[in-house]
Amino acid sequence: MTASSADIQFTKTAENTSAGGVNSGVLITSTKHNLLPAITDAERIAGGSRIKKYCIFNNHATDAYTLPGAWLVPATGVTDEIGLGYDDGDDDDSTQGNMTAFGANAVVACISDAADTRTVTVTGLDASGDPQTEAIVLTGAVEKLGLLTFSVVYAAKVSATGAQTVTLKQGSGGTTRGTIGPTFKNCWLWLAANSQGAAIMLANLAAQTAYCFWWQQTWAAGVAGQRPDTSTLYAIDN
C-alpha cells in the first residue's frame, strides 16, 4: 500500500508562527485562513506582501506518499508564489528565494568562493519533467559540474552552514541561477504554481517526514476595490 491524501497533514513551522525553521507538528485544520489570514481592509487599501513557511507532512506510519506535488488556488486580486524549502532549522530566512529559472536543459555547476568540501543537494526535474535530486561535492573555488541534466531546479541545500558563498550556475561557466551565502543553508526558486498542472513535483514523501514550502503573497493598493480572500494550498498524489 501507499499513503493517500487522507494521511497528509498541513503543519506550521517552529519559528514565530511559520516564519521558518523545522516542522513544528502544529496542525492546520483548514488550509484556508489558517495558513494566511484574510487580508484586512486596511491592508487591502495600503497594498502589501507577506511570506510564510509551511509543511506538508505524511502521517502514515509506514508508507510513502507517491510522487506528491504542491500547488495553489490563487485568490482574487493577489499574486501567489511558492518555493521549495526544507525541514531544517537553518531554513529560516525568506530572502533566500533568490534563484532564477533555467533557460534551457543543463547540468548544474557549483562553485564556492573559498576552501569548501561541503555537499550541495540540488532538487528539481529532469529533461522529461520527472523529479530528481543530485548531490554535488564542492571543491572550493574550482567549479564542480553535476552529472544530471535539469530542466527545472527548485532549490539547493548545502550540508552545513559555513563562512563561504556557494554559487549555482546553469552549466559550466553559465549564468548564475542562485547563491547560498555565509550562514545560510539553501536557496530556492519562486514559482507561480497556480494550477495542478503547474505543481511543484517531488519524489516520494517517506512516512513521518515533511516537505516544506515558502509561500509569498503580494497585492497592489486598492486591489480593484476588493478584499482578496486567502489562497488555498494543495498537495496532490499522482
* Per-domain boundaries in the chain: 5-94+190-237, 106-187
Give 82-107 pLDDT, tens digit per residue. 999 999 999 999 999 999 999 999 99
**78 compared with 157, residue with greater pLDDT:** 157
Q: How far apart (Å, rounded) are the C-alpha atoms in residues 66 and 41?
A: 41
In the chain, % of residues over pLDDT 70: 95
Answer for the pair 119, 211: CB distance below 8 angstroms, yes or no: no
**Domain at 5-94+190-237, CATH class:** mainly beta
In the chain, % of residues over pLDDT 90: 71
Q: Residues 6 or more apart from 191 whose CB is under 8 A from it? A: 81, 82, 83, 154, 198, 200
Residue 35 confidence class, pLDDT cut points 50, 70, 90: confident
**Residue 33 reports pLDDT greater than 60:** no
The pLDDT value recorded for residue 31 is 61
Give 18-28 pLDDT, tens digit per residue. 889 999 998 88
Cell of 218: 503580494
Please state the rounded mean pLDDT for residues 33-61.
86
Residue 222 amino acid letter: G
Please state the rounded mean pLDDT for residues 182-209.
94
Please state the rounded mean pLDDT for residues 130-155.
97
H or E element that contains 188: strand 186-188
pTM for the whole structure = 0.93
Please state, in angstroms and as integers, the Cα–Cα distance from residue 83 to each residue in 5, 70, 197, 205, 211, following that order: 21, 10, 16, 17, 11
Please state the rounded mean pLDDT for residues 64-80.
88
| Kind of pairing between the strands at 152-158 and 166-170 | unpaired
